[in-house]
Amino acid sequence: MTESTPSSSGPLAGKTIALGVSGSIAAYKAADLTSELRKAGADVHAVMTESATQFISALTLGTLSRNPVLSSFWKEEGWQPGHIELADKVDLFLVAPATAQQVGNYANGLAPDLLGAIYLATKAPVLLAPAMNGKMYEHLAVQKNLETLKSRGVEIIEPVVGELACGYEGIGKLAPVDEIVKRVLTHQS
Protein backbone atom coordinates (compact mmCIF):
# COMPACT_ATOMS: atom_id res chain seq x y z
CA MET A 1 0.00 0.00 0.00
CA THR A 2 1.34 3.42 -0.93
CA GLU A 3 0.61 6.60 0.97
CA SER A 4 -1.79 7.79 -1.74
CA THR A 5 -4.06 4.76 -1.76
CA PRO A 6 -6.68 3.80 0.79
CA SER A 7 -6.38 0.58 2.79
CA SER A 8 -6.91 -2.44 0.57
CA SER A 9 -8.06 -4.61 3.45
CA GLY A 10 -10.82 -2.60 5.14
CA PRO A 11 -14.55 -3.20 4.79
CA LEU A 12 -14.79 -0.42 2.19
CA ALA A 13 -11.79 -1.61 0.15
CA GLY A 14 -12.40 -1.03 -3.53
CA LYS A 15 -15.29 1.39 -2.89
CA THR A 16 -15.29 4.97 -4.14
CA ILE A 17 -17.28 7.50 -2.12
CA ALA A 18 -18.12 11.06 -3.10
CA LEU A 19 -18.33 13.03 0.13
CA GLY A 20 -20.39 16.17 -0.35
CA VAL A 21 -19.77 18.92 2.17
CA SER A 22 -22.18 21.85 2.31
CA GLY A 23 -22.07 25.13 4.20
CA SER A 24 -22.88 24.21 7.77
CA ILE A 25 -20.78 24.81 10.85
CA ALA A 26 -20.69 21.00 11.04
CA ALA A 27 -18.53 20.97 7.90
CA TYR A 28 -15.46 20.68 10.11
CA LYS A 29 -16.56 17.12 10.94
CA ALA A 30 -15.96 16.17 7.30
CA ALA A 31 -12.26 15.95 8.19
CA ASP A 32 -12.86 13.14 10.71
CA LEU A 33 -15.37 11.51 8.39
CA THR A 34 -12.87 11.50 5.52
CA SER A 35 -10.21 9.95 7.76
CA GLU A 36 -12.54 7.25 9.07
CA LEU A 37 -13.81 6.32 5.60
CA ARG A 38 -10.22 6.05 4.33
CA LYS A 39 -9.23 3.89 7.32
CA ALA A 40 -12.10 1.59 6.31
CA GLY A 41 -10.56 1.34 2.83
CA ALA A 42 -12.68 3.82 0.83
CA ASP A 43 -11.34 6.04 -1.91
CA VAL A 44 -12.88 9.35 -0.81
CA HIS A 45 -13.47 12.27 -3.19
CA ALA A 46 -14.59 15.43 -1.39
CA VAL A 47 -16.91 17.86 -3.15
CA MET A 48 -17.56 21.18 -1.43
CA THR A 49 -20.06 23.94 -1.93
CA GLU A 50 -18.70 27.47 -1.98
CA SER A 51 -20.28 28.01 1.45
CA ALA A 52 -18.53 24.94 2.86
CA THR A 53 -15.16 26.50 2.01
CA GLN A 54 -15.95 29.19 4.60
CA PHE A 55 -15.99 26.52 7.34
CA ILE A 56 -13.24 24.07 6.29
CA SER A 57 -10.50 24.30 3.69
CA ALA A 58 -10.20 22.23 0.57
CA LEU A 59 -6.55 21.73 1.55
CA THR A 60 -7.63 19.88 4.70
CA LEU A 61 -10.00 17.53 2.87
CA GLY A 62 -7.60 17.07 -0.04
CA THR A 63 -4.78 16.14 2.30
CA LEU A 64 -6.90 13.69 4.28
CA SER A 65 -8.54 12.13 1.22
CA ARG A 66 -5.39 12.25 -0.91
CA ASN A 67 -7.55 13.31 -3.84
CA PRO A 68 -8.23 16.69 -5.43
CA VAL A 69 -11.24 18.44 -3.95
CA LEU A 70 -13.91 19.61 -6.36
CA SER A 71 -15.77 22.82 -5.60
CA SER A 72 -16.54 24.46 -8.93
CA PHE A 73 -17.72 23.58 -12.41
CA TRP A 74 -15.12 25.96 -13.79
CA LYS A 75 -11.92 24.39 -12.51
CA GLU A 76 -12.30 21.15 -14.37
CA GLU A 77 -9.66 19.69 -16.66
CA GLY A 78 -9.84 17.05 -19.35
CA TRP A 79 -12.52 16.37 -21.91
CA GLN A 80 -15.17 14.86 -19.61
CA PRO A 81 -16.84 17.19 -17.12
CA GLY A 82 -15.53 16.29 -13.66
CA HIS A 83 -18.96 16.06 -12.09
CA ILE A 84 -20.10 13.48 -14.65
CA GLU A 85 -16.88 11.51 -14.34
CA LEU A 86 -17.20 11.39 -10.54
CA ALA A 87 -20.94 10.66 -10.67
CA ASP A 88 -20.22 7.68 -12.91
CA LYS A 89 -17.45 6.16 -10.81
CA VAL A 90 -18.76 6.44 -7.25
CA ASP A 91 -20.26 3.54 -5.35
CA LEU A 92 -21.93 5.91 -2.89
CA PHE A 93 -22.81 9.61 -2.77
CA LEU A 94 -22.75 10.82 0.85
CA VAL A 95 -23.53 14.41 1.83
CA ALA A 96 -22.51 15.27 5.39
CA PRO A 97 -23.45 17.85 6.42
CA ALA A 98 -26.46 18.46 4.20
CA THR A 99 -27.99 21.90 4.67
CA ALA A 100 -31.64 22.82 4.14
CA GLN A 101 -30.57 24.34 0.82
CA GLN A 102 -28.98 21.10 -0.39
CA VAL A 103 -31.99 19.06 0.73
CA GLY A 104 -34.28 21.47 -1.15
CA ASN A 105 -32.10 21.44 -4.25
CA TYR A 106 -32.10 17.64 -4.42
CA ALA A 107 -35.82 17.30 -3.73
CA ASN A 108 -36.60 19.76 -6.51
CA GLY A 109 -34.07 18.55 -9.08
CA LEU A 110 -31.95 21.69 -8.93
CA ALA A 111 -28.23 21.83 -9.68
CA PRO A 112 -27.00 25.34 -8.85
CA ASP A 113 -23.69 23.89 -7.68
CA LEU A 114 -21.43 20.92 -8.22
CA LEU A 115 -23.07 18.86 -5.47
CA GLY A 116 -26.47 19.25 -7.09
CA ALA A 117 -25.09 18.26 -10.49
CA ILE A 118 -23.44 15.14 -9.09
CA TYR A 119 -26.63 14.20 -7.24
CA LEU A 120 -28.64 14.46 -10.46
CA ALA A 121 -26.04 12.61 -12.55
CA THR A 122 -25.20 9.68 -10.30
CA LYS A 123 -26.89 6.31 -10.29
CA ALA A 124 -25.14 5.42 -7.01
CA PRO A 125 -27.04 5.16 -3.73
CA VAL A 126 -27.35 8.47 -1.86
CA LEU A 127 -27.06 9.08 1.88
CA LEU A 128 -27.73 12.51 3.37
CA ALA A 129 -26.84 13.59 6.90
CA PRO A 130 -28.70 16.86 7.55
CA ALA A 131 -27.34 19.48 9.95
CA MET A 132 -29.09 22.77 10.64
CA ASN A 133 -30.94 24.82 13.22
CA GLY A 134 -33.77 22.81 14.77
CA LYS A 135 -36.44 25.28 13.67
CA MET A 136 -35.20 24.95 10.11
CA TYR A 137 -35.04 21.16 10.32
CA GLU A 138 -38.59 20.91 11.68
CA HIS A 139 -40.01 23.38 9.14
CA LEU A 140 -42.73 21.81 7.02
CA ALA A 141 -40.88 22.61 3.77
CA VAL A 142 -37.69 20.85 4.90
CA GLN A 143 -39.66 17.85 6.21
CA LYS A 144 -41.59 17.63 2.94
CA ASN A 145 -38.32 17.76 0.97
CA LEU A 146 -36.87 14.98 3.15
CA GLU A 147 -39.98 12.86 2.60
CA THR A 148 -39.72 13.43 -1.15
CA LEU A 149 -36.10 12.30 -1.10
CA LYS A 150 -36.92 9.24 1.01
CA SER A 151 -39.65 8.30 -1.46
CA ARG A 152 -36.97 8.35 -4.18
CA GLY A 153 -34.69 5.99 -2.26
CA VAL A 154 -32.39 8.52 -0.63
CA GLU A 155 -31.39 7.38 2.86
CA ILE A 156 -31.42 10.03 5.57
CA ILE A 157 -29.04 9.81 8.51
CA GLU A 158 -31.17 11.74 10.98
CA PRO A 159 -29.63 14.58 12.96
CA VAL A 160 -29.44 14.29 16.73
CA VAL A 161 -30.52 16.44 19.64
CA GLY A 162 -27.81 18.58 21.17
CA GLU A 163 -26.42 22.05 21.53
CA LEU A 164 -26.57 23.79 18.17
CA ALA A 165 -24.14 26.41 16.88
CA CYS A 166 -26.87 29.06 17.20
CA GLY A 167 -27.00 28.49 20.96
CA TYR A 168 -30.28 26.56 20.98
CA GLU A 169 -30.61 23.04 22.29
CA GLY A 170 -32.58 20.70 20.06
CA ILE A 171 -32.72 18.55 16.97
CA GLY A 172 -30.48 19.45 14.05
CA LYS A 173 -26.96 18.51 15.13
CA LEU A 174 -25.07 16.38 12.61
CA ALA A 175 -25.17 12.70 13.53
CA PRO A 176 -21.90 11.55 15.13
CA VAL A 177 -19.16 10.62 12.68
CA ASP A 178 -19.06 7.03 13.95
CA GLU A 179 -22.83 6.71 13.32
CA ILE A 180 -22.41 8.03 9.76
CA VAL A 181 -19.58 5.57 9.14
CA LYS A 182 -21.72 2.71 10.52
CA ARG A 183 -24.51 3.63 8.11
CA VAL A 184 -22.05 3.69 5.21
CA LEU A 185 -20.68 0.28 6.24
CA THR A 186 -24.20 -1.16 6.61
CA HIS A 187 -25.20 0.27 3.26
CA GLN A 188 -22.14 -1.10 1.46
CA SER A 189 -22.31 -4.63 2.89
- Map residue 37 onto helix, strand or coil: helix
Q: Which residues contact 139 (CB under 8 A, 6 or more apart)?
A: 100
User: How far apart are the C-alpha atoms of 108 and 69, rounded to whole Å?
Assistant: 26
pLDDT at 75 over 50: yes
DSSP 85-111: HHHHH-SEEEEEEE-HHHHHHHHTT--
Cβ-based burial of 4 (10 A; exposed 0-12, middle 13-18, buried ≥19)? exposed
Cα–Cα distances in Å, from 74 out to 42, 50, 71, 82, 83? 27, 12, 9, 10, 11
Question: What is residue 79's predicted lDDT score, i.e. its pLDDT?
Answer: 47
- The residue ranges of every structural domain in the chain are 16-188
> What CATH superfamily is the domain 16-188?
Flavin prenyltransferase-like (3.40.50.1950)
Task: Name the residues annotated as catalytic.
Answer: 166
Amino acid at 3: E
pTM, full prediction? 0.92
Q: Would you place residue 59 in the very low, low, confident or very high pLDDT band (cuts 50, 70, 90)? A: very high
Q: Give the residue, 27 or 5, on which the prediction is more confident.
A: 27
Question: What is residue 1's predicted lDDT score, i.e. its pLDDT?
Answer: 41
